[in-house]
Structure 1
C-alpha cells in the first residue's frame, strides 16, 4: 500500500542494558549478525557502571516500576543496503547519532531468521560521564532503611531487639555515602519530539544512500489523512489482532486515495477522520475501555462514510489548459489514469455493497448454496478492489511520487498555474485586439515551465532537506 514507503524507526526503554547488549551483539544468540560497532567510551565497564548508578538513583527515588538503564532504537533498512559493507553501515548510523547527541552508543546489524528484515539495533546512554567523579563523605553516621531511604536516627533502622534490620545499612562517619560518575539523565530523550527528530535524522541518512528514487522513505506524519499501520514483532501474542487492525487501517487509507483523486478536499477528509475515527474511538475507550473489534468497526464505519462522500462529490467545472506544455500533458495523462481506476473502484465498491445487502437479507435454512455463491462473488470483488488500489499506487510511483496525496497536491498547483496562464493569455489577446500603440509582450511559457518543474520536484522530494549523496564500498 502507499504508506509502505514510510520509514520504521522505533524507540524502546531498557531495564537490563547489559543483557540487551549481549543479546544483540553475541554471535551465539544471533543467527544473522553481520557487524557491531561501539563509540570510543562504550566499553563493557561503562555499561556496568551506568546500570549500577541508574539502579542506585532509582532505588533512592522510591519510584514504582522498573529502572530504565538505557534506551534503544531499532532502524529498519532498505534491503538494497546489503550491497554495502556491513561494517560501514553500522558505523555510519552509530556515529551519526553520536555526533548529534554526544552520548555513548553500541549497535549491531542483523537480519531476522527469514532474512526479510535488514535492521540495526542501536543502544544508547541517557547520561554522560563526568570529567571528575562527584564523591560525598559522611560528616556523621548515615542510616538507610530497606528501601535505601536516608533516616535521621539509628533507632529508625533497628528492630525491637536493637539489632540492625535486614536490608538496612549504616555508613560510618568519614566514609563515602554517595558518589556519581555520570551526569543526570537527559530529559530530552524522554520527549516524543526527540523520537520524531531521530526518525527524521535516520530517514535522511537512509535516503542519502538508496540508489533508486523509488526506495526513498519518509517519516509518517501524525495528524495527516492516512492511518499508520503497526509492525508485528516476533512471537507477539497479539499478532492476529494487530493484523486485523492493520487491515482495517489499510481499507481507510485506500479509500482516502480514491477521495483525493476524486477531488475531495484534504480538510474534509481530515474532518471525517477526526469526527468518525478519533473522536468516536476516544468516546468508546471512555465508555467501554479498549475493544479492538470496536476500533475496527469505527474505522470501517468511517471508511463507508467517506465512500458515500466520494459517490456524492462532484468536481466543479474547470477550464482546460490550451498551452502546449508536455509536462502538464503528462500529468493530465496520469490524472486520467487515476480517475479511470477510481471509477472502477467506485463501481466495484457499489457492487460489493449491493451484494452484502443481498447477503444480509438472505434468510432460510435451504439458502446455503445461494449464500455461498454471494460470499464467493463478494470475495472476488474485494480482491479486485485491492488490485485496483495497487494499480493506483504503481501509477504515481512510476512518475516518482511517494503516494497519491503528493501527486494530487502537485497537480492542483499545476492546474492553478495553467488557469493563471490562460487568463493572462486572454488578457493579452484583448489588449492586442485594441491595437494599442504600446505593443504588449505575450506571456512567456518559460516562466510557467519553471514553476511547474519546481512544483513537480517538491512533490517528488521528501519533506526534509535534501542531503548530498555519499558512496560506500560494496561488500559484494
Structure 2
C-alpha cells in the first residue's frame, strides 16, 4: 500500500510560480495542465495582495500543494484528470480559483502534481450599503445618536454608500483569507484527502502514521558520499520496517499499543547509537534491520497461533466436503434452472411473434364469399348440363315413338306433339343459359381465389402448430425446473440430515437401537401369532349357530334324564 505524500508551501510570487509549473522550456515532462477553474487571473490576486498589505512585509499571494500520484496514471490521462479534479474540488471547494500541472521528474520515476490555489474565495462585486441608520447634529456640527432630540437622520440602513468624490463604493471581489490553510491540521488533511481520493479510484493508499512508523532520514546540501550511502541504507530499512509494522497493525496481528512502544524503543536505541558517532551509525541501521526481522517473526508466530486455533477438525472437514459437493450439485441445478428460464423467455418471445404474425394474416372473408358464388354458378351449370342430357334423352325416346306411328296415326297422337314441342323449348332455354355462362372463367377465378385462401390457411395452421409446439416445450421446461427445485429441496434436506447424523452420532445410534428393538418385537409377535395358528389348526371349528344348537340339544337331553329319574323313584 503506497504512502500518501502531500505537502504545501506559501507563495509570495504566485504569477511567477504559475508560469514556472506550466513552462515547457523549464519543465521537462509536463503531462497535464489545467486552468479550467480560474475565473480571475493570478495578476489580479497579486495586485489585490499588494494593495491590501498591512505592513512592510509582502502578503502571501497564494499557496501550492504538491502531491505524489501513481505512475501508471500516465497511461490513462482521463482518469488522471478525474483524480486531480476530484482531489482539488473536495479539498478547496468550487468557489476558489486554482490551477494545477502534472509533471514527471527527470528519470520519469515520480509522477506528481503541483496545485496552486488562493486562500481567498471569489465574491460577487456589489455596491456597499449602510448597515444602520446614521444621525447628524447640525448645530454642534458632529455625528450624533438617535437619542439626541436635535439629531437628524442623514443615512438610512440599506442605503448605497458613496465616497468623497460621489462615486459608488463596491465590495471587494475577494473574501478574507481562510485561516484553516495555515493550520497544522490542514497539513494532515491534505494527506488524508489524497489517500481517500486514491482509494476511491482503486489505488490503495494510506497516510503516514507517526505513532508507529519510522520517519525518513533527510539529506542536506553538500553531504558526503558516505553520508548519502548511509541515509539511503537507513531509509530503505525504515521503509521495510514501516511496511511490516503497518501490515501487522492493519491485519490486527499486533495491538497498536505494542507497535507504538516498539517504535519508541527503536527510535531511542537509534538515537543513542547515532549520538555516539554524531552521524547516522552503522549500528543504528542494524537495529532497524533487526527490528524488521523481529516484526516478521512476531507476525509468523501470530499467524501460526491463529492457524492452529482455526484448524478444522476431521468432522468439520467431512461436513465441509459434504457441503461443497451439495453446493456444486445445487449450483449445477440452479444454472440449469436459469438456462431453462432464459430459453423459456426466448420461446415465449418467438411464440408471441408467431401469434402476432398469425393475427396479422388476412381473413379473406370477401374472397370466401366470392368462391361460394363461383361454386354455386359451377354447380348450377353442371345441373343444367345434366338436365340437357335428360331432355335430349326424352326427345330421343319421343322421336322413336313417332317413327313407330303410321301417317294417319300421327294426327291422332296430339299429346305426343305437344310434349315434343315442350321438350324442344325446354332444351333451347337450357342451352341458352349454358351458353351464357363462361364456365372456364368461373373455374379459373374460383381456383385462384381458393389457392390464395388455402395459402393463408396453411400459413396460419403452420404458425399455430409451431406456436403450440413452443408452448408445449415451455411446459416441459417448466416441469423440468419444478423437478430441479424439488431436487434442490431434497439435497438441502439430505445435507441437514447428514450433518445432524455426523454431529450427533450417539443420538443416531440410540434411534437405530430403538428401531432394531421395535423390529424384534414385531418379529416376535408375528412368530407367536404363527405358533397359535398352528396349534389351533387340528381343532374342529364350529360356528356360533352350531354351538348354540349343540347347547340346546345337551340341555334337552339333561331335562329328559332328570324326568326319567323322577318317574323311576315314584314307581318304587
Give the TM-score range, shorter chain: 0.3 to 0.5
TM-score (norm 2): 0.39
Which has the bigger relative contact order, CA under 8 A and spacing at least 6? 1
Structure number, greater radius of gyration: 2
TM-score (norm 1): 0.46
Tell me which protein shows more helix as a share of its residues: 2
